[in-house]
Amino acid sequence: MALLEVRRVDVRFGGLHVLHDVTFACEAGEITGLIGPNGAGKTTTFNVISGVQTPTEGTVILNGEDVSSLKPHLRARRGIARTFQRLEVFGSMTARDNVRVAAEVAQRRRKHGAAKGSVRDVVNLIIERVGLSEVADEQSDALPTGHLRLVELGRALATGPSLLLLDEPSSGLNERESAAFGELLTELADEGLGILLVEHDVPMVMAICERVHVLDQGMVIASGTPAEVQANNAVQEAYLGTKGAAL
């Protein structure tokens, strides 16, 4: 059973048909890429999966459970976490508190009776892992975009998700940071996390993803391993047609 199944999702904004019959799946322990030109509908797909956007039609299935009718917070409690392309950091808090809120909410929900110190440990661990140790106690409003993306990643991880949706997480990072970031994602997947990655940095996607789905004008035009997708004519066309940039 797949970790996440998106089945026949349609989204219309008035007359604008943004997603057509979108169907794909993600597996636990894998990084799945979702790529496509600007305006293809990637963020909208994320919104549908996380419950922020109600689709006109279609279902979202997490671990075999139909979560389509659940509100965002209930989906989060079932293990879906996400970041935002247009950042939604808690700007008035420090980076650490951003992560802490998520960890506290998650801990309380699990009611493991875990010791009080454990939230702090979780937060410290995450801060260190995503590489925010140096700026953790600065108010996040003051941090550059690249760091804010890491704050969002850390915050999402702190909820203890089984599925992580990342919307353009590496924009704003420099080359070295991007590489470290790719490594971190691979590690997380190795630990069993399912990751759905939307990313404009196509070489990075090709390097770290097990499977890739390509969206164009709201339709899945190709799915497969990175090699298969790269060789696909429709994909070449979609990218060449809209952006003039080869894969």
Partner 1 sequence: MDVKEILQLVVIGVAMGSAYAIAASGLVVTYTTSGIFNFAHGAIGMLSSFLYWQLTVQDGWPVWLSVIVVVLGFGPAVGAIIEFGIVRGLRGSSLATRIVVTIALMVFAMGLATNIWQGQSASLPGFFPDADPVRFLDVALSVHQVIVIVCALTVAVGLRFFLFRTRVGTAMRAVVDSPATASLNGIKPDVVSQLSWAIGAGLAALAGVLIGPMLQLEAFALTFLVINAYAAAVVGRLRSLPMTFVGAVGLGLFINLVPYVVEHIGFLSSALDGWRYQPALPAVFLFIVLMLIKDSSLRGARPTRARTMRVPTFTESVLGSAGVIAFTIVVAQFLSNDTLNRLQLGFGVGVVGLSLVLLTGYGGQVSLGQMGFAGVGAFAMLKFGGASGNPLGLLAAFALAAPVGALVAIPALRVRGLYLALTTMAFAQFMDETVFRHEGVFGSTSNALGRLSIFGVSTDGDKAYLVTVVTVLCLLSIGVLALRRSRYGRVLTGMRDSELASATLGIDPRAVKLVTFALSAGIAGVGGALMAMANEGAAAEQFALVQSLPVLLIVVVGGVGMVTSAFSGGLALGLMSIVGKQVDISNLDLLLTGVAAVGLSRSPEGWGVGLADQVTRIVPTSRRFAFLPGRPAPQPEPVDEVTPADVTRPSGVRAGGLV
Residue 85 makes contact with Mg ion by CB under 5 A: yes
Name which of residues 46 to 65 contact partner 1 (CB under 8 A). 46-47, 50, 52-53
**Do 199 and 170 form a contact (C-beta atoms < 8 A)?**
yes
Residue 43 makes contact with Mg ion by CB under 5 A: yes
Q: Record the tokens describing residue 54, joined without a space.
A: 């109600």
Q: Record the tokens describing residue 34, joined without a space.
A: 């979702």
Nearer CB in complex with Mg ion: 85/230: 85
* Type of residue found at 71: K
Nearer CB in complex with ligand ATP: 29/172: 172
Which entry of Mg ion, ligand ATP, partner 1, none binds 144, CB below 5 to 8 A by partner kind? partner 1
- Euclidean distance between CA atoms 96 and 126, whole angstroms: 9
Name which of residues 104 to 163 contact partner 1 (CB under 8 A). 104-106, 108-109, 139, 141-142, 144-145, 152, 155-156, 159
- Euclidean distance between CA atoms 217 and 203, whole angstroms: 22
DSSP of 129-182:
HHT-GGGTTSBGGGS-HHHHHHHHHHHHHHT--SEEEEESTTTT--HHHHHHHH
Q: According to CB under 8 A, which one of 9, 45, 55, 90 is a site residue for partner 1?
A: 90
Cβ 20 to partner 1, closest distance in Å? 18
Which entry of Mg ion, partner 1, ligand ATP, none binds 239, CB below 5 to 8 A by partner kind? none
The contacts of residue 217 (CB under 8 Å, 6+ apart) are: 20, 39, 40, 41
> Which residues are near partner 1 by CB under 8 A?
13, 39, 43, 46-47, 50, 52-53, 71-73, 76-77, 80-82, 84-93, 97-98, 100-102, 104-106, 108-109, 139, 141-142, 144-145, 152, 155-156, 159, 167
